[in-house]
Chains A and B, each alone.
Chain A
Amino acid sequence: MKFTEDHEWLSLDGDIVTVGITEHAATALGDVVFVELPEVGTMVSKGDEIVVIESVKAASDITAPVDGEIIEVNEAIVDAPSKVNEDPLGDAWFFKVKVDDAGDYNAYLDEDAYADLIG
């Protein structure tokens, strides 16, 4: 698993990258009440704002951490946004991207480096 400085996590399986938000992000956001996910089939570029997430406190965006095609989104967190607070690193993943090049993935922080970041 890798981590971005924007508190997203990524896991790689073949050429599929699964993306979610970290425990730290979920706690900082507070109770999540709304999630809007991109459509399957959308081509995304690194940095695109593709998810809207709203907590009781505020709205925030989640950006695509890699270039590729959205091949699956987690409708369960649209129906029950509180899952994001309950299991951010597991059941509450956000979307899966099919990538051409796993290089972007490898450039992100490992667990220790992320732990240092949120210190």
Chain B
Amino acid sequence: MAGATDSDLKQLPLHDLHVELGGKMVPFAGYAMAVQYPMGVMKEHQHCRASAGLFDVSHMGQVVLRGGGVALALETLIPQDVAGLPEGRQRYGFFTNEQGGLLDDLMFANRGDHIFMVVNAACKAADLAHLRAGLPDAVQVDEITDRALLALQGPMAESVLATLNPAVAEMAFMDVATLDLNGAEAWISRSGYTGEDGYEISVPKDAADALARALLADDRVAPIGLGARDSLRLEGGLCLYGHDINTATTPVEAGLNWAIQKIRRSGGARAGGFPGADVILDQLANGAACKRVGLRPQGRAPMREGVEVFAAPEGGDPIGRITSGGFGPTVEGPVAMGYIPADMAAPDITVYGELRGKRLPLTVAKLPFTPANFKR
């Protein structure tokens, strides 16, 4: 397969394990990654929803920010409440640009004397430069390159991980903790990107292989590739950066209002003060012209990224486009997300996607397509 032997592709710390497990390696964000294992995308997806799946997400950027005033300083780059985040808690956030667009989405955690951040692989170099340019000299920005990042997701994730350390069961959704796992110091958060309960686990590279094997030794755990990771997050209604969100989409258009806490909005104690605040605060108050919605093809044909959306079965200009789409194994049918005008963004409205020259009906649907299964 193309690219699998490209010499300029970087290898993940668990590369040998992926190959040993029969992973089909493809290039992704500059890394050789497993798109699927012999189980196949469909069964991997179903296994994660029913039991537990292990994902290697070591390609993502891990960043530590430390120094006096780091929380307030970070608030100049992201519209989240950083200063009010208690120690041991994590939040979803995003870097914005001056136009109110999204530079990347991320997770950040208050780990006491520092903030730990996880960013997308394709954006990490730009994110690091953005942090270094935007934060005062008193804040130290360090990329963590000596740790792997694993995710264990699914309804059995808690009972599986608890066999290595029972303390993980005490964590609530979006809690973070430093705990021993299999003899290694793990930075654990109870979070993920599948819509399922689970954990994201940062461990020293040299301990990652043993930890992954210890988890896979449990019959309830199967390795999950990029293919199922994508269908899981799509059913979960979660944005994929570079597809559903980018520099031309604002958080309000993307339906990410919930991730901007009141204290950063108009009337809040620390309102604004982040790039693009004028645009974003105005849209929070008055709405945006278009909105990200769920779209369910009424027929069986999947509609994927790039399909243009129309208001009527014939004529007219496109009103929007699909940004992610495919087959949802849990939904047992095609699912998609895309942007359409806000005045049409109501559940059960029918719009039309143009596929291979034919306009096929899509129903505007609430997200997520599958209910979130978080342990609040």
Residues on A facing B (Cβ under 8 Å) = 30-31, 33-34, 36, 52, 54, 56-57, 59, 78
Contact = CB atoms under 8 A, between A and B. Distances in A.
B231 A56 contact: yes
Contacts of A56: 40-42, 45, 227, 231, 326-327, 329
A111 to B, nearest CB: 24
B304 A59 contact: yes
B interface, over-half SS: mixed
Residue of A30, A31, A56 with most partner-chain B CB within 10 A = A56
Contact of A59 (B35, B227, B302): B302
A78 B329 CA distance: 17
B356 interface: yes
B350 interface: no
A1 to B, nearest CB: 26
B375 interface: no
Given A34-B301, A59-B302, A54 B41 contact: no
Nearest to A54: B302
7 contacts: A30-B42, A31-B41, A33-B302, A34-B302, A34-B327, A56-B231, A78-B300
B334 A34 contact: yes
A92 B35 CA distance: 26
Determine the interface band of chain B, counting residues with CB < 8 A from chain A. Answer: 10 to 19
Contacts of B334: 33-34
A interface, over-half SS: strand
Interface in B1-51: 35-36, 40-43, 45
Nearest to B41: A56
Contacts of B326: 56
Contacts of B356: 52
Nearest to B329: A56
Contacts of B231: 56
A57 B302 contact: no
Nearest to A56: B41
Contacts of A52: 301, 356
Contacts of B43: 31
A30 B40 contact: yes
Contacts of A31: 40-43, 327
Contacts of A36: 301
A78 B36 CA distance: 25
A57 B231 CA distance: 10
Nearest to A31: B42
A88 to B, nearest CB: 14
Contacts of B329: 56
A69 B35 CA distance: 39
A47 to B, nearest CB: 17
B134 to A, nearest CB: 38
Given A31-B40, A52-B356, A54-B301, 13 more contacts: A31-B42, A33-B42, A33-B334, A34-B302, A34-B327, A52-B301, A54-B327, A56-B42, A56-B227, A56-B231, A56-B327, A57-B35, A57-B227
Contacts of A33: 42, 300, 302, 327, 334
Contacts of A30: 36, 40-42, 227
Residue of A30, A31, A59, A78 with most partner-chain B CB within 10 A = A31
A52 B304 CA distance: 14
A92 B36 CA distance: 24
A54 B41 CA distance: 13
Nearest to A81: B300
B304 A57 contact: no
B362 to A, nearest CB: 15
Contacts of A54: 301-302, 327
A48 B160 CA distance: 52
B22 to A, nearest CB: 12
A57 B41 contact: yes
